[in-house]
Structure 1
């Protein structure tokens, strides 16, 4: 959810706030090649305008996704560990940050021998004109900030997006042998909205969809229903997160109270949407090193025998 500067949105839709948000560079871009992307066959979205790519503060982003796909980013066979991670970017279910929260971590995982699968999931429709889209996105994030100010009610993923995440998990397991993957070492990592989908994967626990590890990066921190088979959980969040910073730590505490493994990293500064690299000048820049240590501790860096 790199959003249209959530720090501003969290203050409400006052005129100065709108002006600040609209000053962030947004520019259309050509649809990038998505060679090897696998259509998930989960259906379309009625009335959805054409898929549109743009840069938000220089970061490739997509909106109006009506056809879900899964893009494999595979490691060199010489260093492949046999482990995998499905990655879901954030964007408030109206857009997806496809570089900072998807392709960049996918390439990083592949460099460490872990097969990565980037999920481009179905979104809520937004107006085709860019100015109208920006206003719709502002309204969406303002509503989320208002809910947070009133106590931070839990947020659920829209049904189409959750169905896409479930289908992606099943697909990777079903085709694990083709990609040289251990079907019992398939993790899920989501950022913001993508993390909310990951929590819902665990809550619903549909057959074949439960990840073996769950990494939730700046997720909703509301308490969650935790099934007995819930996977180990990794959470990275900033204490000054503009959307979820006042919720406390209900999410990881739910895991702890149910006796499930959990690792929590809270950074003093970073805000919401610090991306894979973290926010420059803050300790959130170290979160992916912590993630690597956690993956190593769970055997994701060990070569499959």
Structure 2
């Protein structure tokens, strides 16, 4: 648990018990996983500091009308009431040695349920990530996947009202889960001929009047990233390959825009999925 409700340490302390919890979480992987855990914006901030919400956002706390300090304090009490956080010292499990970070684990202000500790640990130490932000009429949601050695994956889905749903899908199922997320109305139909447009033209390349959802998929591994924009209309899905991230590209550089079938969409997403070990074929 963060010792501050406003900022997480630059290098949070991770113990052997935390790592054991992380391994136990990853061991539950399933092609169609059940929901593992739900946390709110304010619970994550209470546990891991404000910076833990920077990447995926905090829709509830960012509304501007929420008393953040009071919400975070109430969230911590709620976690304690659900026995996910133990503030008393007596009866705690041994944290073991410190794996990363500094400090004495025995001096932590609280001990987390081991599954919860595992989820928070995994959020801190991915080897690669894919984030998909989708915008619909009802607002924006984010689906994130954290990748680890031996085909380990943690999924986090952030709703418009700031609930973070965690699950542990099998690696081979990730592309299919993202495909369903970016094509929520299942309208991907047939493949079309790719059309070349400049990066400057790409912002107006989609049929805005008929667009029902727009998703931006970003894959990052080893410090390098690639991005694609996926738009679903009433009758088709179009994919724009934005290319590598952060390479100082010119507005006149050309990118490819094309309508895709469900199978092609799945294959394109699968190419962007980082893999640290051999895995099976993608599952739709």
Q: TM-score, normalised by structure 2?
A: 0.26
The answer to which structure, 1 or 2, has the higher relative contact order (CA under 8 A, 6+ apart) is 2
Larger radius of gyration: 2
Q: In proportion to residue count, which structure has more strand?
A: 2
Q: TM-score, normalised by structure 1?
A: 0.24
